Structure 1
């Protein structure tokens, strides 16, 4: 039976990504859904993108766009580097691109340009980097930056009364729209958890690989979690995005 994996924020940790792929041993008919934020943090951001492009040739991959990916995409397209981006991991990404040729950078830009804002599968499961604000769903979102930055969807799910039934008038309408929702963006280590967290029908798969957490893959049917070693152990001479 084909499996579907939701894979959390990588943030330049190529060694963690390679370790994770070796552990899950994807088969040709499996689906790998990457939730965004491939860059900014550890030293191999450009190399992560090259690896993702290779994986796309081997497996059924879905790539979503994260806020850090948008920053990098703008810079590769010739815009000045956003100082906020540079402060939040962009410097390591810029450095990782120094050895790439102009043609390789162009191919990466093509990759960034085709990243999806969200993905909805045949079982009405939504995959999105951060969230959305429209009560009618992401297709009706007026502010597309919500896909990259919104934390209210996660905060709403996390603060819900666990006894609230799904058919209750008080159940948040945004959550009722989908069978399940899978996000990244907000590290679970913020809540002292190093594994994916579930709140209502929403799963958060960003387990803090940019900091002192791990990179995670969640089998969305069995809910089995596979994780890399903490990238800070794989890159012992680096800080990632840790202060």
Structure 2
């Protein structure tokens, strides 16, 4: 059984489908997606459809990202959609656009809202790893982490988590397409929605697959990266 972690997809369904083909997902594999499935890229609708299929037929463990949090907030009565639209929600609505109608939240099917709201987790933990979307406070247990740290905090060098577990995260996009490996923390947001790559890490062996919207594939090892994160986003 492999434990595979996937970085921020951001509506890039071509890269995601290519990645699934490249890793040759097996029924016994555990696939952990780190959030930010929607916004910025062109095919958020298709990405959520694919995740639903994986959730129903494989061992998918999906996390929420800050873009899912913003999307859920935009749906609440009395809340403005302006913030969400400004950070990529416009592209998400357009992926659901029906001919002859203005893009609307009403076009997003209930099963997509239900998946994001009820099935996407805030964090996930194994014997050796902690999976979060953005970051965490190294001195606090997972149940006491703030929403800001889990979903919005940029990656910067922090002390290892007191548990001694390796933290796997996304959120802070690396425009050079290279993951960040701090030893105790690894960031897999490699800018799939820009000119970078979508990354998938086998957390036990260190094998890394990367694909992009052009359908290109490359493989390497996370051990080849030892770098300081770029937090310019």
TM above 0.5, one fold? yes
Aligned to 2:4: 5
Give yes or no for contact 1:40–1:68 (8 Å, CA) kept in 2.
yes
Q: How far did residue 55 of structure 1 move?
A: 0.9
Q: In 2, distance between residues paired with 1:79 and 1:36?
A: 25
User: In 2, are the aligned partners of 1:65 and 1:117 still within 8 Å (CA)?
Assistant: yes
Report what 1:72 is aligned to: 71
* Match in the other structure for 1:117: 122
Instruction: Report which stretch shifted further, 19-28 or 68-77.
Output: 68-77
8 A contact 2:11–2:43 mirrored in 1: yes
Per-residue CA deviations over 1:137-177 (Å, capped at 9, x if unaligned) read 22122x323210012xx3124xxxxxxxxxxxxxx2x5232
CA contact (8 A) 1:187 1:206 kept: yes
- Helix, strand or coil for the counterpart of 1:5? strand
Compute the RMSD of aligned alpha carbons. Answer: 2.3
Task: State the alpha-carbon separation in 1 of the partners of residues 14 and 64 from structure 2.
Answer: 21
Higher helix share: 1
Find 1:132's aligned residue among 123, 131, 136: 136
**Which of 163, 166, 181 in structure 2 is aligned with 1:177?**
163
Tell me how far 1:212 sits from its aligned partner: 1.2
Does 2:190 match 1:207? yes
Contact 1:134–1:140 (8 Å) recurs in 2:
no
Moved more, 70-79 or 99-108: 99-108
132-141 or 53-62, which moves further after superposition? 132-141
Are 1:197 and 2:180 matched, yes or no? yes
Q: Deviations over 1:171-205 (max 9, x none)?
A: x2x5232321100000122xx3x232201310101
Identify unmatched segments of 5+ residues in structure 1: 158-171, 235-243
